Amino acid sequence: MHVRQGTIADLDSLVPLFDAYRAFYGQRSDMDLARSFLLERLRSLQSVIFVAFSEQDEAIGFAQLFPSFSSVRAARTFILNDLFVAQEARGRGAGNALLAAAADFGRAAGAARLTLSTAHDNLAAQKLYERADWSRETAFLSYNLALD
């Protein structure tokens, strides 16, 4: 398995993974929506996507980072907004490799930190993050305002 930064050339491999990721979080499957969303992010350089490939060079997972900033730290940060490994490829180190690639990228970009959120009941993901030395946030509460 290997991980590299994804490009528009990887779109056909990324779309089914992104669609499965959205379905994991309760969204209706929509391959056209998945394609247009990823294409726009890649074209406009609004995110950085890492792709994990199997030994057979099939895309088996991805991580998507969105740039942000910390006003308090006066520094760049990245939100690791999406991390997904195909069900049949789990347990082989792809998630850990994607986290490591994201962390290496953040360090190289001079970022102060990476941030992520996961569902309370996604215990497998929580174990993965904690094994990779991510710290659970305890100082702040998160709030959302739906605009649609």
Q: Name the pTM for this structure.
A: 0.93
Q: Is the Cβ–Cβ distance between 60 and 85 less than 8 Å?
A: yes
CATH of the domain at 45: 3.40.630.30
Cβ partners under 8 Å of residue 26, min gap 6: none
Whether the CA torsion 134, 136, 142, 144 is positive or negative: it is: positive
| Measured distance CA(79)–CA(113) in Å, rounded | 9
pLDDT in tens, 81-137: 999 999 999 999 999 999 999 999 999 999 999 999 998 999 999 999 999 999 999
Q: Is the Cβ–Cβ distance between 58 and 15 less than 8 Å?
A: no
Q: Is the pLDDT assigned to residue 41 strictly greater than 90?
A: yes
Is residue 137 situated within a structural domain?
no
| Domain span including residue 98 | 2-131
Is residue 147 situated within a structural domain?
no
Q: What is the mean pLDDT of residues 24-38?
A: 97
Is residue 140 situated within a structural domain?
no
Give the model's pLDDT for residue 16: 98
Q: Among the residues of the chain, which ranges form H helices?
A: 11-24, 31-43, 94-108, 123-131
Domain count, the chain: 1
Question: What phi and psi values does residue 143 have, to the nearest 5 degrees?
Answer: -130, 150
Is residue 145 situated within a structural domain?
no
- pLDDT interval class at 141 (50, 70, 90): confident
